Chains A and B, each alone.
Chain A
Amino acid sequence: MLVAGIVGYGAYVPRYRIKVEEIARVWNKDPEAIKKGLNLLEKSVPGLDEDSVTIAVEASRNALSRAGISPEKIGAVFVGSESPPYAVKPSATIVAEAIGSVPVMMAADLEFACKAGTQAVLNCIGLVDSGMIDYGLGVGSDTSQGRPGDALEYSASAGGAAFIIGKKDALAEVEEFYSYTTDTPDFWRKEGQEYPRHGARFTGRPAYFKHVLSASKGVMEKGGYSPSDFDYAVFHQPNGKFPLLAAKQLGIPKEKVLPGLLSPVIGNTYSGATLLGLAAVLDRAGPGDLILATSYGSGAGSDAMVIRVTDRIEEKRDKAPKVEEYVSRKKHVTYGEYVKLRRKLKV
């Protein structure tokens, strides 16, 4: 059992949405097939004045409100993203400056496809547990892009979540973790290329499922849990279908997955996805509830965490906007507006 716990968490999802129908209309695809096949309805789109850093800052400020600590106490800031505004120049420093944690602290950006967010949190857990820092901030935030017309375009979205890790007054304890990593080329983008490429069906069984299931089974075996011990389960959600299939294979009922399943309504927020799902679960979980959270990052790896909610959840939950409030705050855009917002037009 680890000493470190979650002392604050915060979410952020941009206001704009585009419906599957609207994208399908432009590319002459059947929206019903996509909605049914991938369990996706719409996805979030960042505003022109947003990027993965602004999303990370908004989520981090919400996390600070729940943690109730002064930002100078944060000894490490890790921002996980695969869509940083700069190719060279850290995002974590901008986030740390914006929340007021600078200068006596460490900071770094992490990049591991969609797994960078949970990795940022795990880094903080390790540093807090070892006593190197008192508090750490781990963020997963993305404004991901899919090539116009590609299947990814229906899911690649924007959002993020931030977790503050510390020893005192945790609203949830991290009881166990297990990471599972291999070199699996299911998804990549080379320097200078605008959009990523992926291995189509290869991204399924040998990639997502192999790693998510191995990490989830691994953490259960390591900590002596059985699937029925969990009140909630959150999995990385590249679409609305994969997490439910993974849960089924693990023997976890659908009802325990749905509260943390956001991709049908906001799409795949990449580095933010598992953490946002976890935030949504913490928004409603009660003291003593046990949560399984397993991320997945292409390339490939999974981090699985077992989290136990404490009594403090009740007093902290309402100190920042809930995921549901962000999800229901929305304005739909047309494909034309979406193209402008995502800067897909070269002007």
Chain B
Amino acid sequence: MAEQGSIPLIWRRYPQRYRLEGNKCENCGTYFFPPRLVCPNCRRRGSLTKHVFSGKGVVESYTVVHVPPDEMAGQEPYVLALVRLEEGPVVTAVVTDVDPEDVKIGTRVRLAFRRISEQGESGLVCYGYKFAPEKGF
């Protein structure tokens, strides 16, 4: 977890954490989230362009976290999942608005915008992506 008060570290990643901005290699067609600075497949032959991910995905694996990092104390138990986005990349994120027993491998989810953590009582609120079950919407 980021040290308390580390403002630039949080601010720098807003485009990715707020709206799933990643990229795509026009040379090999692979999508990347988080965005890559060099295509690991094509290296210097690659050509990376911005791609905003749809936020639709499927749970590839999950765990119910009972012992959270200090920054998320009080939110446990929460579901942490590997979510495969429909464009291909997998992200690690919390599945929110759900009872833990309702998350399974294969559960379809959609993007949600949530508070992730807080840098202490008086510090910055760190927002970012979580996912919520698609069922019902």
Contacts and interface: CB of A to CB of B under 8 A. Distances in A.
Nearest to A71: B19
Contacts of B130: 49
Interface in B84-127: 94, 96-97, 99, 112-116, 125, 127
Interface string A307-347: 00000000000000100010001010000000010000001
A331 B137 contact: no
B interface residue count range (under 10 / 10 to 19 / 20 to 34 / 35 or more)? 20 to 34
Contacts of B115: 48-51, 54, 85
A15 interface: yes
Interface in A17-59: 47-51, 53-54, 57-58
A47 B19 contact: no
A117 B14 CA distance: 26
Interface string B66-78: 0000000011000
B40 to A, nearest CB: 27
Given A58-B113, A325-B136, A51 B97 contact: no
Given A54-B127, A98-B18, A98-B127, A61 B137 contact: no
A173 to B, nearest CB: 28
A99 interface: yes
A134 B115 CA distance: 31
B65 interface: no
B52 interface: yes
Contacts of B97: 15, 47
Nearest to B74: A48
A104 to B, nearest CB: 15
Residue picked from A57, A58, A94, A98, most chain B C-beta under 10 Å: A98
B14 A97 contact: yes
A49 B18 contact: no
Nearest to B129: A98
B96 A47 contact: yes
A100 interface: yes
Contact of A57 (B75, B96, B113): B113
A98 B137 contact: no
B18 A97 contact: yes
Contacts of A329: 136
B74 A51 contact: no
Nearest to B96: A49
Interface string A3-26: 000000000000100000000000
A325 B99 CA distance: 18
A331 B125 contact: no
Nearest to B118: A85
Contacts of A94: 18, 127
Nearest 7 Cβ contacts at the A-B interface: A49-B114, A57-B113, A98-B18, A321-B137, A49-B115, A15-B97, A100-B19
11 contacts: A47-B114, A48-B74, A48-B75, A48-B115, A49-B94, A54-B115, A54-B127, A98-B19, A99-B19, A325-B136, A347-B74
